[in-house]
Amino acid sequence: MTYSRKLIREQLIDAVHGIEEATHYFQERLNDKLLLDLLIKIAMDDYSTDASAKASYWISHFSEDLLIEVEDKLLILQKYKLNAISAFAIIALSRINSKKGLSYLVRHRIGPKVNWWESKALNQYLKNEGSKDCSQHY
Annotated domain spans of the chain: 1-96, 99-138
Taking alpha carbons only, the member of 68, 62, 111 closest to residue 125 is 111
What's the pLDDT tens digit per position in 63-89? 999 999 999 999 999 999 999 999 999
Give this prediction's pTM.
0.83
Gyration radius of the chain's alpha carbons? 16
Q: What pLDDT is attached to residue 117?
A: 87
Contact 82, 44 (CB under 8 A): no
What's the pLDDT tens digit per position in 13-67? 999 999 999 999 999 999 999 999 999 999 999 998 999 999 999 999 999 999 9
Q: In terms of pLDDT, which residue wins out, 132 or 5? A: 5
What's the pLDDT tens digit per position in 110-128? 878 888 888 788 778 877 7
19: left (phi over 0), alpha (psi -120 to 50) or beta: beta
Packing angle, helices 33-45 and 49-59, rounded to 10: 140
Report the percentage of the chain scoring pLDDT > 70: 93
